[in-house]
Amino acid sequence: MATPAATKRLTREYATISKSPPPYIIAHPSEKNILEWHYILTGPPDTPYDGGQYWGTLMFPPDYPFAPPAIRMHTPSGRFQPSTRLCLSISDFHPKSFNPAWEVSTILTGLLSFMTSEEMTTGSVRASDAERKLFAQRTRWWNSTGGGSKAQNNGSRGAGAIKAGDGGTKFRAEWPELDEENQKWMKEKRINPQTGLPLSSSSQPHCSPDMAGLRKRANGSATTVGAVVQQGQVAREVGQSWLGRNKWRIVIGTLISYIIVARVLGEGSLSTAA
């Protein structure tokens, strides 16, 4: 339970951040617990996270601001392990280095700055820019459906961690307006709610022109099918060695040569005897 000082401080900070949010950042406390804050970082332009919607939590201690919060990012980003406590100078990993003058906006601005850097710490991961861009494209889907959360438990524990399978439910409870926007976006983009990928415009799987042509020939006339079979036989013959193709000719030729040589030697022996 929050102390009166923590409640007063966080209430004031909520009013401040709501009135003047930092760039690419929004946040609010949970209705049930003022110590549990939910934030959204929007990926800044000119970064691999451009346009991504990154949801996370700050779990403040009861004696805030004299101790820092636990910081987690739940949305897969290619930068942090989902729902894992992050070791930062502004997090509960380093309580002695926390400055009571720092506010929620300070903490989240620092988190965004760290996210767009390449510095490594506990809870961070390495990924290519291409991989992070793919994560960014699927953030809205993941947040509003809990996409993949059943398969990504990550063994996370502690207050604020998102348990396996409840990601979408928790997000909808904390961000109903954003969830509604995400649902409309997924419908407009024809996003498959099971995979987070665009739905195919055709029920038939796509294939290359070469594969399509091969399929057409295989299902074509008897003449075409016969030609395909014949080409297969030729291919098999080409794959065999010369010796393998002519082994019986070699055997017969060797036998005939042996008979001829034996006959010649036999006639030579008779001439000598005479």
Tens-level pLDDT at each residue, the chain (274 residues): 899 999 999 999 999 999 999 999 999 999 999 999 999 999 999 999 999 999 999 999 999 999 999 999 999 999 999 999 999 999 999 999 999 999 999 999 999 999 999 999 999 999 999 999 999 999 999 999 987 444 444 444 565 566 555 668 899 999 999 999 999 999 999 998 888 889 875 444 444 443 333 333 333 333 333 333 333 343 344 344 455 556 667 667 777 776 776 676 665 554 554 4
Question: Which residues are within 8 A (CB) of 66 and not within 5 positions of it... i.e. 6 or more apart?
Answer: 100
For residues 35 and 6, the answer to whether their CB atoms sit within 8 Å is yes
CATH of domain 4-188: 3.10.110.10
Q: What is the pTM of this model?
A: 0.70
List Cβ neighbours of 206 (8 Å cut-off, separation of 6 or more). Answer: 200
List where CATH 3.10.110.10 sits in the chain. Answer: 4-188
CA atoms of 121 and 114, how far apart (whole Å): 10
pLDDT score recorded for residue 163: 59
List 26, 42, 44, 87, catalytic entry: 87
> What backbone phi and psi angles, to 5 degrees, belong to 264?
-60, -45
Q: Is 207 a catalytic residue?
A: no
Q: How far is CA 203 from CA 180, 199, 207, 214, 216, in A?
A: 28, 9, 12, 20, 18
